[in-house]
Chains A and B, each alone.
Chain A
Amino acid sequence: MATDDEIVLGIDLGTTFSAMAHVNRYGKPEIITNAEGFQTTPSVVHFYDEDACIVGEEAVKMVVIDPHNVVRFIKRHMGEEDFTLDFFGRDYTPQEVSALILRKLKEDAEELLGVDVNDAVITVPAYFNSAQRGATAEAGQIAGLNVLSIINEPTAAAIAYGLDRIGGKRKLLVFDLGGGTFDVTVMEIRGTRLTTIASDGNAELGGKDWDDRLLNHVAEQFYEKFQLDPRDDAAPYQELYERCLNAKISLSSKERAVIPVNYRGQRMVVPITRTEFEELTRDLVEQCEDTANIVLEKARLRWEDLDDVLLVGGSTRMPMISNLLESLAGKPPAEGVNPDECVALGASLAGVFRHRPNHPALLAQRQQMVSRAKEVKREERKVEPAPQSAPQPAPDPNRPKAAAIGLAYGGSLVAGSGSQKPPEEPTFGLPGVTIEDATTHPLGIVVLDRNREERVVELIPQGTRVPHRYKGRFAYAYENMTAVRVEVTEGVGERRDEVTVIGKVELTGLPPRPRGTPIEVIYSYGVDQILQVRVIDVETGKEKEAQIQFQGGMTADQLSRARSHMRNMNVD
């Protein structure tokens, strides 16, 4: 059993960059720098031998030298079946490649903190489906981490952002445009409760698409001049990609940039202005805008109803994105949040809230609240000597007053609405935040309709607040059935081939009875995003219960083999 102050690593496993954080014993989340001393680590792996690889900055350098042994953007393939990459005769699944990145993070954290780190909370884009979430969890397992939970990136970002703003009632839009994924989430902070109202996104849209536009633009110009396409060769392509990436970054602060191309002895310098770049990527920005509008519509909100807009992910540094949101929301996006770090910070906080209920900082906070409440009472008594006969009820420790929290949470971060003065001596603590997620994909069941054709019925719609319980009755489709099978589906669609079957529960050994015999099905979806399915035969009371967990596609056997292989792998 983990001790209460044992570290929970919050990991933002990104498409292009990863970051990690932990909550120190005073309740303050901190980014853990990697062995190279940077806040973020590139999610790039270079395999240089059968059992050796480099992760991070060094691997990026190898991209031009050894392009066929370097993996980037593996996150885009998480949860994809049949996707393996071959290095030195061994096939690597996306889980295994991600595991190598996670292992590097874990080892760097251990080195920096000087303690063993086992438990972790890993974030995923809100729009990830269960296979992608499952694959992420599997990657953690392979890396030797005990993955306590998988949480949504916008939720994590909102925790990090909202912690010093708890108290009131605020509506928050989290716009998360990372290297390879994109999602928009509307959240509500009410007291210490953080609720996801609506979410949507695109797991195939990210900064990489902006880079590609730039790359294609440059390659086409080069081709026009020399009839040579630098994209045709791996190493020149990678070199050009790096240059385009740098040009994109500098265009965020400068008005113009130049991209030098050098391929097969031909040289060319392609100048590009920010306006040109924005023109090239206009439709991508429109795509973002559409998604944001859809989410607001789902949340039944208007732009002016939002209190804050939070930009997360490195790609939101592009002026076209912040301008877009400013023009949509009518006010500048929230400041003081580092888009690269807040997800990891939030993840570490979520780890403490969920899995370390007795973390010293939380305890300190509670204690302070109790003493604070006593103090308030005393003061009240002093001011108004017993005007009421009934004693005032003690404040609920889970729903503390705004002022109390603001004061208690490390003086410097105060943002509460209270008029109280900060206490003299510095105090440390962490208020407990309750996280209410919502389902990002509808969950359903396969049934036979009146024409005995298979149809998918949605039982838990998208955007349902979790935990959630659904109870429903179904009936025998045929006479004399002796077994019923519940097929749990995920995704939008009425036909079976439009959705994914994520699990099956079979109730067997039933007595044969006529058509229409009732069968009860209960879906319970928990905060840990695990679906519990119960199938009950109403007449006999016979029942079967099963847990549907996200499956990343690897069997237990494959996982254990992968784990032993990874253990022997040299990760630099």
Chain B
Amino acid sequence: MSGKNLELAHEFSTLVGASDLLAYLGMDHTASVDELRAKLKEKRKYMQGMQSNPKYKKQALFMIKHFSALDAVLQTPLEYIDDVRRRQESEHLPVLEMTIKGVLKGGRLTGEQAEFLRHQAGELGISEQTFQETLDRLCTEMGVAAPLPELSESEKASDHYAVLGVNNAASRDSIYDAYRTAYREAKGTPEPAAARSRMEAADQAWRVLGDPRTREAYDLARQSTAPPATQRESTPTPSGAKAPTAPPVRQRTAMPDTVPGAPRLEIFGEPVRRFGVANSPVHDEIRLRTAMPMNGFVTSTAPEWLRVEPAHLSPTTNEQTLRVTILPEFEEAEATGAIHIVTERGDRAQIVFEAKRRKIRPVTAFLAVAAILAIGLAVLLGSMNTIQGGGQPGLTIQIDPSADDVLLNSQSVGSGSVVYVANPPTGGVKLRVSQRNFRTYEQQITVPADQALEVPVMLELTEAMDFKPTAQMIQGTLDQEVVQKVMKPRSKAMDACIAIAAEPGKTMSGTVRIHIRQSGRAQGVEMEGDGINDPRVRTCLTRQAAAVYVHPLEEGDYATVRYDYQVTP
């Protein structure tokens, strides 16, 4: 079916203010194609009499002119309802896509990550099927192997093929037809309770079998749990009840059941925390305990100023600490954000952070710059390999300029310029830090069991940042929103680079131009302004610039990101 017809059907639904054509016709999904078409024809005939009616003129003319398109759409109702669903969800789809892409950047997708994404999709009001489709598509695009969707116990337990009366080789279209028939029959059951349960069973069967991916998962689960013969025996009667005794399906991880009533996720400390923030970041931590060691995700609702590390719960321990950094990056005088913690079992917690901007006196401001300067120097020199830290045990990896991915024993633990691992594997650990434009850094480190360890990592550039656009090249455009996002966290570090050459009481200003090649990677940098003559500043800025990754250009040979700095001590 042509997309144009679907487009017209959508336009028409909007025009008449109906959610879809079926609703407009006053029919539901149990209607057969012939019934739908007959109804549409009837409606058209009615509209013919309304075409001079000023109130109905538009829809009547639309109906008359595009009748064949609407008719064609109804001939393949399955395709149409899929399209309607996609359109309804398209509003929130970009958000989901971004989230998925963020997770897939790690290069793979684990079961709990998929679970987390599925949960997010649910929150956004995106159906299982669309979520699966999107996930599959993005996995293919980014070259990541996608796990099969997880089915709930009840979804695995029923014999959905039997509910719909189709064999397991049936096509999606015939399954849909069977679903409609089954649903209609169920609806006609005289006893209301039985009718409802049969309808629910049919709905569930369609939910599982209607989506190729869940169907595949379902088929696999059935194969692994019960031999087909017994499955056949336990086939539900046409009353549509679930299979009486569903054998337990494979357990994903051996998880002892918790004591009933005991909380499975506990957070220590205040659920709402308030901070006054001046020019320098403020740190806080969240201590939490889970009923058992389990995977989970930690996200911030305002990543631009509220950061949390690590982004995952460690599956090796049930007590852990999250490091929260509040950056003075919020626009208003006050900001509110939250850290969400979601475990693989679906437990959720939220800690609200309220940040208030504090007025800084000039002396404090100077001290702040001095502190940045000191850090910058320390990082630049990178003289020490390990720093024995006191207090909290854990591993902190300081990376200059920053990392796309940090792996401990090939397990991704995070990204950015500071990665904190609360419960690192102890003993000899293989550390691997990768970043575009930089050589991958690998080091064997020894992590002590009860002490904090800090590892500075200085990445080396793979290529010189000496690309300069020529007159023949065509300049492309960048998504300014993305540029903002990329440059905002980096601007602090770049200002710190320039602060290396700072003299007390002198304002420094200038411009850094980062040239982005077609691939979206920075390949060249040009600088001018105060402090640029200092080789340390140049090196530092070059390294920061090299870590900039925007997005591949849609057109043009290059693009330039301009960063104007003004550092006031």
Spell out A's residues near B (CB within 8 Å).
67-70, 72-73, 80, 82-86, 208, 212, 215-216, 219, 229, 231-232, 234, 237-238, 241
Contact B48 A83, beta carbon cutoff 8 Å: no
- Nearest to B65 among chain A residues (CB) is A82
Q: A68-B48, A232-B55 are in contact. List 5 more A-B contacts (CB 8 A).
A: A83-B61, A84-B64, A86-B41, A212-B54, A231-B55
Contact B49 A234, beta carbon cutoff 8 Å: yes
Known: A68-B48, A68-B49, A234-B49. A82 touches B54 (CB 8 A): no
Q: Which of B45-91 contact A (CB under 8 A)?
A: 45-46, 48-50, 52-56, 61, 64-66, 68
- 14 A-B residue contacts at CB 8 Å? A68-B48, A68-B49, A83-B61, A83-B64, A83-B65, A84-B64, A85-B48, A216-B54, A219-B55, A229-B55, A231-B56, A232-B55, A234-B50, A241-B52
Residues of A within 8 A of B56 (CB): 231
- Nearest to B66 among chain A residues (CB) is A82
Q: State how many angstroms separate the Cβ of B473 from the closest Cβ of chain A.
A: 20
CA of A346 to CA of B52 in the docked complex: distance in angstroms? 30
Q: State how many angstroms separate the Cβ of A257 from the closest Cβ of chain B.
A: 19
Q: State how many angstroms separate the Cβ of B18 from the closest Cβ of chain A.
A: 15
Residues of B within 8 A of A234 (CB): 46, 49-50, 53
Q: State how many angstroms separate the Cβ of B67 from the closest Cβ of chain A.
A: 8
Contact B65 A80, beta carbon cutoff 8 Å: yes
Contact B55 A86, beta carbon cutoff 8 Å: no
Residues of B within 8 A of A216 (CB): 54-55
Q: How large is the interface on B (under 10, 10 to 19, 20 to 34, 35 or more residues)?
A: 10 to 19
Q: Does B44 contact A (CB under 8 A)?
A: yes
Contact B46 A237, beta carbon cutoff 8 Å: no
Contact A70 B53, beta carbon cutoff 8 Å: no
The 8 closest A-B pairs by CB, nearest first: A68-B49, A67-B49, A212-B54, A231-B55, A234-B49, A82-B65, A237-B53, A73-B52
- Nearest to B47 among chain A residues (CB) is A68
CA of A80 to CA of B66 in the docked complex: distance in angstroms? 12
CA of A215 to CA of B56 in the docked complex: distance in angstroms? 13
Spell out B's residues near A (CB within 8 Å).
41, 44-46, 48-50, 52-56, 61, 64-66, 68
Q: State how many angstroms separate the Cβ of B207 from the closest Cβ of chain A.
A: 38
CA of A67 to CA of B60 in the docked complex: distance in angstroms? 14
Contact B65 A72, beta carbon cutoff 8 Å: no
CA of A522 to CA of B66 in the docked complex: distance in angstroms? 38
Residues of A within 8 A of B55 (CB): 216, 219, 229, 231-232
CA of A72 to CA of B64 in the docked complex: distance in angstroms? 15
CA of A105 to CA of B469 in the docked complex: distance in angstroms? 76
CA of A231 to CA of B56 in the docked complex: distance in angstroms? 8
CA of A449 to CA of B46 in the docked complex: distance in angstroms? 49
Known: A82-B66, A83-B64. A231 touches B54 (CB 8 A): yes
**Which of A72, A84, A215 interacts with B54 by CB under 8 Å?**
A215
**Which of B48, B50, B53, B61 interacts with A86 by CB under 8 Å?**
B48
CA of A216 to CA of B66 in the docked complex: distance in angstroms? 26
Known: A70-B49, A234-B46. A85 touches B54 (CB 8 A): no
Contact A68 B53, beta carbon cutoff 8 Å: no
Residues of B within 8 A of A231 (CB): 53-56
Residues of A within 8 A of B52 (CB): 72-73, 208, 241
Contact B45 A86, beta carbon cutoff 8 Å: yes
Residues of A within 8 A of B44 (CB): 86
Q: State how many angstroms separate the Cβ of B263 from the closest Cβ of chain A.
A: 54
Residues of A within 8 A of B46 (CB): 68, 234
CA of A513 to CA of B523 in the docked complex: distance in angstroms? 46
Residues of A within 8 A of B49 (CB): 67-70, 234, 238
Residues of B within 8 A of A86 (CB): 41, 44-45, 48
Residues of B within 8 A of A84 (CB): 64
Residues of B within 8 A of A241 (CB): 52-53
Q: State how many angstroms separate the Cβ of A213 from the closest Cβ of chain B.
A: 8
Q: State how many angstroms separate the Cβ of A456 from the closest Cβ of chain B.
A: 24
CA of A80 to CA of B54 in the docked complex: distance in angstroms? 19
Residues of B within 8 A of A70 (CB): 49
CA of A232 to CA of B60 in the docked complex: distance in angstroms? 12
Known: A219-B55, A229-B55, A231-B56. A85 touches B64 (CB 8 A): yes
Q: State how many angstroms separate the Cβ of A91 from the closest Cβ of chain B.
A: 9
Q: State how many angstroms separate the Cβ of B42 from the closest Cβ of chain A.
A: 10
Q: State how many angstroms separate the Cβ of B182 from the closest Cβ of chain A.
A: 34
Q: State how many angstroms separate the Cβ of A214 from the closest Cβ of chain B.
A: 10
CA of A229 to CA of B50 in the docked complex: distance in angstroms? 14
- Nearest to A229 among chain B residues (CB) is B55
CA of A367 to CA of B442 in the docked complex: distance in angstroms? 114
- Nearest to A208 among chain B residues (CB) is B52
Instruction: Specify which of B44, B48, B68 lies most central, judged by the most chain A CB atoms within 10 Å of its CB.
Output: B48
Instruction: Specify which of B46, B49, B50, B65 lies most central, judged by the most chain A CB atoms within 10 Å of its CB.
Output: B49
Q: State how many angstroms separate the Cβ of A17 from the closest Cβ of chain B.
A: 15
Residues of B within 8 A of A238 (CB): 49
Residues of A within 8 A of B41 (CB): 86
Residues of A within 8 A of B61 (CB): 83
Q: State how many angstroms separate the Cβ of B478 from the closest Cβ of chain A.
A: 25
CA of A219 to CA of B53 in the docked complex: distance in angstroms? 11
Residues of A within 8 A of B50 (CB): 234, 237
CA of A241 to CA of B54 in the docked complex: distance in angstroms? 10
CA of A504 to CA of B315 in the docked complex: distance in angstroms? 72
Q: State how many angstroms separate the Cβ of B262 from the closest Cβ of chain A.
A: 57
Residues of B within 8 A of A219 (CB): 55
Residues of A within 8 A of B68 (CB): 82
CA of A231 to CA of B57 in the docked complex: distance in angstroms? 11
CA of A68 to CA of B49 in the docked complex: distance in angstroms? 4
- Nearest to B68 among chain A residues (CB) is A82
